[in-house]
Amino acid sequence: MEDLLNYIGENMEMIYFLVLAILLGVEVISNVPAILHTPLMSGANAIHGVVVVGAIIVMLQASPDNYLALSVGFLAVIVGTLNVIGGFVVTDRMLEMFKKKPKKS
């Protein structure tokens, strides 16, 4: 318990930053009009490719006998990849709605 309190005390700036980011994110997302919410979120999902890159870096830095780091890294690669693919699929579907359809004669 004492180690946890020391860790929190040493990283208080990061905790403030995290709380500020959460509050700012909630405020920004709550003020987005409903019509823009889906395209905004699909674009954000596509940007999450950074998670895939980070997971690959973690897996490369992990030692071969560190099964926890390798498992979490592998899971992050899979989930991040699904998130990126889902973001592109939703974005493509949204853009398809705005294409002009050819007129029937």
Predicted local confidence at residue 43, as pLDDT:
67
Predicted local confidence at residue 83, as pLDDT:
83
Predicted local confidence at residue 19, as pLDDT:
93
Rounded Cα gap, residues 11 and 18, in angstroms = 11
Domain residue spans in the chain? Answer: 1-31, 34-100
Q: How many angstroms separate the first and last alpha carbons of the chain?
A: 76
Model confidence band, residue 105 (pLDDT cutoffs 50, 70, 90): low
Q: For residue range 1-60, what is the model confidence (pLDDT) as tens digits?
A: 888 888 888 889 989 999 999 999 888 878 877 777 767 776 677 677 888 888 898 889
* CA dihedral sign, ordered 70, 58, 25, 45: negative
In terms of average pLDDT, the best of 27-31, 76-80, 91-95 is 76-80
Length reported for the chain:
105
The mean pLDDT value for 80-101 works out to 80
Helix and strand counts by DSSP (H, E) for the chain: 5, 0
Rounded Cα gap, residues 30 and 45, in angstroms = 18
Confidence check: pLDDT of 64 > 70 = yes
Closest CA to 48 of 5, 16, 22, 81: 81
71 within 8 A of 27, measured Cβ to Cβ: no
